[in-house]
Amino acid sequence: MHMKRTVTFAIAGVLACAVPAAAQSINDAQIAHIVVTANQVDVDAGKLAARKASDADIRKFGQLMMSDHTGVNKAAVDLATKLKVTPEANATSTAIKEAGDKNLAKLETLSGAAFDKAYIANEVAYHQQVIDALDKVLVPGATNAELKALLVKVRPAFVAHLEQAKRAQASLGK
Chain contacts with other proteins (rule: CB under 8 A): 64, 67-68, 71-72, 74-75, 150, 152-157, 159-161, 163-164
- Closer Cβ to other proteins, 156 or 173, answer by number: 156
Please name the residues in contact with 91: beta carbons below 8 A apart, sequence gap of 6 or more: none
- Closer Cβ to other proteins, 5 or 74, answer by number: 74
Least separation in angstroms between CB 172 and other proteins: 17
- Closer Cβ to other proteins, 121 or 160, answer by number: 160
Query: What is the DSSP secondary structure assignment for residue 16, as one 8-state letter?
Result: T
Least separation in angstroms between CB 130 and other proteins: 14
Least separation in angstroms between CB 42 and other proteins: 13
Residue 115, number of CB atoms within 10 A of its CB? 21
> What's the rounded Cα separation, in Å, for the pair 27 and 137?
10
Q: Is the dihedral of CA 162, 35, 147, 62 positive or negative?
A: negative
Residue 64, number of CB atoms within 10 A of its CB? 16
Least separation in angstroms between CB 157 and other proteins: 5
- Closer Cβ to other proteins, 130 or 150, answer by number: 150
Query: From the centroid of its chain, how far is CA 166?
Result: 17
